[in-house]
């Protein structure tokens, strides 16, 4: 790697000068690498930050040349070459440092030597998918959906059923179970084995996101991303119906449960978490629906998430004492009836009707035709009080 200049230097006979210390932190390394190497075939690492190419300095059938746009550095994990934007230009174009700096500044090189690529401001690379390769992500979704209904997936299936999801909903959502999949992490040089319930987001025929909900004892996050490619809404933006109400909840399982309960009453979607903000492209895809209800969790994080939505969105909290819609279901609330009242404008729908309460009651009630008889629990033998 060449020595870096720390003061202004001349780049041409007419006296143009470049201060390397002034421009080095403004260079878009991702754009420079794309201009020199072409469109990157992959993006992975922390939050999909790093771009990956096959290394131009050695035979590299599996991309091992990584560019980190944030750190403004590149490294090949195959041959260990590394450097910054100037080093990359010097290596690929056989430039001196002065010539590379001139190229990066968009000025003529001191020697007039042509570059491999035109010395112009390169375009930024397009967003690329991160995590697993697409064929591997598709195979994971397919195999996990089959495995869920085998003895191996029994615990996961019981978990989903406890959350109130029916077999039809589980199959339509293509939920699955994986005993373990290797997911690339950090700089792509390491992999993490993750097991759990698979959830796949779709945008038309395109898989946009694959997440794994871990079960049992573990450290760290409950949800691990296995694949990401510009996700927007779960289960799919196509669920939006023109002129129909829209209900936005906090997580995927609540979206499935409430969508199952509401049916044709409203579309139910999620951005994935309380921290996900409704960006302009997403809001544009929701404009056909009306009215909007933001039904995130009944806690400070849910309230904060609701404030990110436009004023037209009506805040609806899960009824106390429930934190979310799964808890409301488990509490015994008829979600379809509750939301039918809420969609009609009733601010605080009744949690239960008299008929629903009677069906759940234990013991005698007013007007009981057999007073003195205690029913300990439904469908149990009666016991006479002496």
Q: Where in the chain is the domain with CATH 3.90.580.10?
A: 9-105
CATH 3.90.980.10 is right for the domain spanning 130-228: yes
Q: How confident is the model over 238-247, as pLDDT tens digits?
A: 999 899 999 9
Most confident of 97-106, 222-231, 345-354: 222-231
> What CA–CA distance (Å, rounded) separates 235 from 170?
12
**Alpha carbon distance 33, 124 (integer Å):** 9
Q: How far apart are CA 37 and CA 39, in angstroms?
A: 7
Fold of the 9-105 domain: DNA Primase; Chain A (3.90.580)
Whether 292 and 313 have beta carbons less than 8 Å apart is answered as yes
Write down the H helix ranges in the chain: 20-23, 29-37, 85-93, 97-105, 134-147, 154-162, 167-172, 252-262, 280-286, 300-306, 325-331, 335-343, 354-360
Residue 279 has pLDDT above 60, yes or no: yes
In the chain, CATH 3.90.980.10 covers: 130-228
CATH 3.40.1360.10 domain position(s) in the chain: 237-352
pLDDT in tens, 213-226: 999 888 888 999 99
Q: What is the pLDDT of residue 328?
A: 96
CATH code for the part of the protein at 237-352: 3.40.1360.10
Residue of higher predicted confidence among 135 and 19: 135
Tell whether omega for the bond before 291 is within 30 degrees of 0, i.e. cis: yes
Q: Which stretch of 44-58, 79-93, 198-212, 249-263 has the lowest confidence by average pLDDT?
A: 44-58
DSSP letter at 151 equals G
Q: Find the helix packing angle between 335-343 and 252-262, rounded to 10°.
A: 80
Pairwise pLDDT comparison (34 vs 346), residue with the higher score = 346
Q: How far apart are CA 197 and CA 176, in angstroms?
A: 5
Q: Which comes out higher in pLDDT, residue 207 or 61?
A: 207
Nearest-angstrom CA–CA distance, 320 and 77: 53
Q: pLDDT over 90 for what percent of the chain? A: 48
Of the listed ranges 150-154, 265-269, 359-363, the least confidently predicted one is 359-363
Cα 137 to Cα 72: distance, rounded to the nearest angstrom: 29
Higher per-residue confidence, 219 vs 132: 132
pLDDT, mean of residues 53-68: 83
Question: 24 falls in which pLDDT band (50, 70, 90)?
Answer: confident
């Amino acid at each position: 790697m060449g020595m870096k200049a720390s003061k202004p230097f001349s780049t041409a006979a007419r006296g143009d000068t470049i201060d390397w210390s002034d421009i080095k932190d403004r260079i878009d390394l991702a754009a420079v690498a794309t201009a020199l190497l072409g469109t990157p075939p992959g993006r992975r690492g922390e939050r999909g930050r790093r771009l990956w190419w096959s290394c131009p300095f050695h035979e590299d059938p599996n991309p091992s040349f990584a560019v980190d746009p944030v750190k403004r550095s590149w490294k090949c994990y195959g041959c260990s070459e590394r450097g910054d934007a100037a080093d990359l230009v010097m290596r690929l174009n056989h430039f001196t440092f002065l010539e590379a700096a001139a190229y990066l500044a968009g000025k003529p090189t001191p020697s007039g030597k042509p570059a491999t690529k035109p010395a112009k401001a390169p375009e930024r690379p397009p967003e690329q998918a991160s995590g697993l390769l697409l064929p591997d992500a598709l195979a994971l979704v397919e195999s996990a959906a089959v495995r869920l209904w085998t003895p191996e997936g029994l615990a996961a299936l019981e978990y989903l059923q406890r959350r109130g999801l029916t077999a039809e909903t589980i199959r339509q959502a293509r939920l699955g179970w994986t005993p373990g999949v290797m997911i690339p992490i950090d700089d792509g040089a390491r992999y993490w084995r993750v097991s759990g319930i698979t959830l796949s987001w779709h945008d038309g025929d395109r898989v946009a996101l694959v997440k794994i909900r871990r079960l049992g004892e573990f450290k760290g996050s409950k949800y691990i991303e296995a694949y990401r490619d510009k996700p927007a809404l779960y289960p799919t933006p196509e669920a939006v119906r023109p002129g129909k109400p829209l209900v936005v909840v906090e997580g995927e399982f609540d979206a499935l449960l409430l969508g199952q309960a509401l049916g044709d009453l409203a579309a139910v979607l999620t951005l994935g978490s309380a921290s996900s903000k409704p960006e302009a492209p997403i809001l544009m895809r929701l404009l056909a629906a009306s009215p909007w209800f933001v039904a995130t969790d009944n806690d400070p994080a849910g309230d904060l998430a609701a404030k990110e939505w436009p004023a037209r969105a009506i805040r609806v909290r899960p009824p106390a004492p429930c934190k979310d819609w799964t808890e409301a279901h488990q509490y015994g609330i008829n979600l379809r009836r509750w939301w039918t009242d809420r969609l009609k404008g009733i601010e605080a729908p009744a949690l239960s009707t008299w008929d629903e309460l009677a069906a759940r009651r234990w013991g005698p009630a007013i007007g009981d035709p057999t007073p003195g008889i205690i029913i300990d629990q439904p469908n149990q033998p009666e016991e006479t009080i002496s």
